[in-house]
Amino acid sequence: MGAGENMERVDGQLSARPISLSHRIRMWQQRYSSTVLLLAPLLLYMSLVFAIPIMFQVAFGFYSRELYKGVLWRPVPDFTLDNFVRVFSGDEVYLSSLLWTVGVAFFTSAVSITLSLPVAYFLARYNPIGRSLIELSFLLPVFGEIFTLFALAYAFAPQGPINWVLMGLGLVQEPIRFIGSPLVVIIWMSIPTLSVLLIRSALVGVDVLYEEAAQTMGANTLQTFAQVTFPLAKRGIMGALLLSVSSGVGVYTLPLVLVGPYNSWLANKITREVNPFFNYPMASALGVILTAVSAVFLYLYLRSQEAGD
Amino acid sequence: MRLPRTVYIILNVYALILAGIMIWPVLQMLLTSVTSDVVFPPQNFSLNAFNRVLWPGFFHSMGVSLQLGFWSTLLLISICLPTAYVLERRRFPGRSLLSAVIFVPTIFPSVTYVIAIGVYVAIYFIELRGTFPIIVIATAMGAIPLVVRTIQGSLATSDPVYEEAAVVMGASPMQAFFRVTLPLIAPGVITAATIAFTFSATNFLAPWILGATDPPVAVYIYRDVERLGFTPELAVQVLVMEFIILGMVQGLYFVFRKQLRGVFT
C-alpha cells in the first residue's frame, strides 16, 4: 500500500483523493500497533491497580454508609457532601489533623532545605574530603526505611545515645521521652537527605563567573551567596522545597512506628477510618483531600520549573 | 569563589557530620543487637538477644518476604521493560504524557492509593482481601518509576545501531531485542531488578495496610513493636532481615557477574 494509490490523474494533474477512514486506521495500525502492544502491560496494570481504585475512591468520598444486617457498615451510593463537610467544619479531629500534617511538612521541609544549602553548595563547588562517601550517604535512607526507623527508635530511647548526650551536656535533667511524642518524627524529617542532591544540581547550574565578579567587586562570601548565587539558583531550591512538602504530607510509616497508632498525621487517620471504624466513605474522602493537597504542591513545583524556561 | 580556610573546614566537617547521621543507623543496629538492653553507653555485651528471637516464625515471614520480592520483581520487569523500550526508542503521540504517568505512583502519597486498593478489594472482592497476589500487585506499584527510569537510562546509553543491523540481516524484531538489545542493556535491567527486589521485600506499607494474612517480615517485626516495644531482639531481626536481603542482591550480582563485567569497576 503506497501513497500512490490515493493519487489519481484528473485532467492531467495530480490531485489527492481524501484518504478513507479505513485506510487511515490501517496506516495507524501499521505504525503504532507494536507500540500499543508493548505498552499494554503497563496500561493494563495502571488502570486495574491504580486508575480504577482511585476513581472508586473519589466516588466513595461522596457516598454515605448504612449498617447492613446489624454487623457490617457498607457504603451506599447516596450522593452526599457530608464527609467533606465533616472534615472542613472543624468540629472533629480531621481539620486539625490536616493542618498539623501540612504544617509539619512545611516546617520540616523549610528546616531541611536550610540545613542542606551549605552542604549542597560545598559539594557543588569544592572537592571535600570524603566526597564520594558524603554523596552516597544521602541516598542511603531510600533503601531500607524499616531499618532507619528502628535505628531511630533505639537512638532516641530513654537511655539511648541521644538522651545520653543531652544529659551529658547538662541540657536536660532527666531523659526526654522521644518515643511516643511527635518530636522524633519532626527531627528526622528536618534532616536533609535527598534534597541535598537536588539543590546541588541546581547550584551546579549557576556559573562561577557571576560569583567571581561579585567577589572582585568587593562582596564577602556571605553577601555573594545571598545576593548572587541564591537568586540564580532560586528555582531549583524552590523546586526541592515543594517536592519535599509534597512528599512530607503523605508520611505514614515514620509516625506509625515512632509515635504509635494514635498519632495525628492525616495518613494515619485515613487508615484508622478503614481499620477499626469501617467507615469507607470517610476514608475515601480523606484520601481524596490528602491527594489533592499533595497535588497542589506538585503543581506549584511543575509551574515553578516551567516559569524560567 | 575562594573561601576562608576556617569556613572551608567547618563546611567539610558539617558535610561529614550529615553523612555520619545517614550512616549511623547501621552502627546503631549493630550495637543494639549485641547488648542485652537498650542503654547507652553499652554496659552488658551479650548475644542473648540472638537466642531469644523466635526464629521459626521469623524465617517463615522472611520466606514470605522473599517470595513477595521475587514475584513483585518479575511483575515489575515484565511491565517496565517494554515500557522503557517504547519510551526510549519509539516516537508516538502521547509520549510525554506517558512519561508523566510513570511518575504518578511517586506523586500520589502511597497511603492513599494503597487505601484505595484496599477499599476497592474489600467491597468488591472480599474473599481476596489480604491474599498474596493482592499484596504483590499493590507493592509493585511504588517501584515503577525507579525501575522504568533505570532501564531507560541504560537503553539511552546503548546504541540502537546494533539492533537495526540485526533487523537488516533478517532477524525478527523479537530476535533482535532478545539476542542483541537485551544483552547490551543487561546491567541496567539487573540493577533495576535489585532495586525492585529490595523495595518489595522490605516494603512495610502495602502489606500492613492491606492486612496481609501471611505477613512479610517487616510487618511481622512491627507487630512485636506494638506488643513489646523496642527490644534488642527486634534489632537482631531487623539486622538479619537486611543481611538476607542484601545477600540475595549480592547473590544476584554474582549469578550475573558475566553480564555485569566492567560495570562496577
Residue B90's pLDDT is 85
- Residue A196 with chain B: CB contacts under 8 Å: 18
Residue A1's pLDDT is 41
For residue A17, give how far its alpha carbon lies from the nearest alpha carbon of chain B (Å): 25
Cell readout for B141 is 506499584
- Residue B235 with chain A: CB contacts under 8 Å: 150, 154
Mean pLDDT by 10 residues, chain B (265 residues): 80 88 85 80 80 88 94 95 91 84 81 90 87 93 91 89 90 88 89 91 91 90 86 88 89 84 58
Residue B265's pLDDT is 43
Residue B262's pLDDT is 61
Q: Tell me the per-residue pLDDT of A111-160, one tens digit each, with 9 for 90 and over.
A: 999 999 988 888 888 888 888 888 888 877 766 778 888 888 888 888 88
Report CA torsion sign: A80, A84, A87, A88: negative
Instruction: Return the SS3 of A68.
Output: strand
- For residue A3, pLDDT beyond 50: no
H-helix segments, chain A: 21-45, 52-60, 82-89, 93-125, 131-137, 145-155, 161-168, 183-190, 194-204, 208-216, 221-224, 230-232, 234-248, 253-258, 266-274, 280-307
- Which helix (H) or strand (E) is B194 found in, with range? helix B182-201
- For residue A13, pLDDT beyond 70: no
Q: Any idea where the domains of chain A sit in the sequence?
A: 20-76, 82-307
Distance CA(A223)–CA(A68), nearest Å, equals: 68
Full DSSP string of B125-136: -GGGTT-HHHHH
Q: Which of A45-54, A88-97, B197-206 is least confident?
A: A88-97
CB A82 within 8 A of CB A305: no
Instruction: Tell whether B25 is within 8 A of chain A (Cβ).
Output: yes
Residue B78's pLDDT is 94
Window 238-277 of A: residues touching B by CB (8 A cutoff) are 246-247, 249-250, 252-253, 257, 261, 267, 270-271, 274-275
Q: Is B65 buried (19+), middle (13-18) or exposed (0-12) by CB count in 10 A?
A: buried
User: Look-up: residue for cell 531500607?
Assistant: A144
Q: How sure is the predictor about A96, in pLDDT bands with cuts at 50, 70 and 90?
A: very high
- According to the 3-state scheme, what is the secondary structure of A155-201? HCCCCCHHHHHHHHCCCCCCCCCCCCCCHHHHHHHHCCCHHHHHHHH
- Choose the closest CB to A287 out of B112, B122, B235: B112
Nearest residue in B to A250, CA atom: B109
* Nearest alpha carbon to residue A38 among B173, B252, B206, B249: B173
Residue B104's pLDDT is 79
Distance CA(A64)–CA(A86), nearest Å, equals: 12
The helices-and-strands tally (H runs, E runs) of chain B is: 14, 0
Nearest residue in B to A209, CA atom: B1
Distance CA(B143)–CA(B75), nearest Å, equals: 11
- Using the 8-state DSSP alphabet, how is residue A67 labeled? E
Q: Tell me the per-residue pLDDT of A231-255, one tens digit each, with 9 for 90 and over.
A: 888 888 888 888 888 888 989 999 9
Beta-carbon-side half-sphere exposure of residue B61 (alpha carbons within 13 Å): 25
Domains annotated on chain B, with CATH? 52-255 (1.10.3720.10)
Nearest residue in A to B120, CA atom: A53
Residue B107's pLDDT is 73
Window 81-110 of B: residues touching A by CB (8 A cutoff) are 82-83, 85-86, 90, 92, 98, 101, 104-110
Distance CA(B160)–CA(A11), nearest Å, equals: 47
* Architecture of the CATH domain A82-307: Orthogonal Bundle (1.10)
Residue A11's pLDDT is 53
Q: Do B198 and A46 touch (CB under 8 A)?
A: no
User: Which residues lie closer than 8 Å to B95 by C-beta, 6 or more apart?
Assistant: B87
Report CA torsion sign: B227, B228, B233, B234: positive
Suggest the residue from A137, A222, A243 to mutate for an interface test with chain B (most B CBs closer than 10 A): A137
Instruction: Tell whether B205 is within 8 A of chain A (Cβ).
Output: yes
- For residue A70, pLDDT beyond 80: no
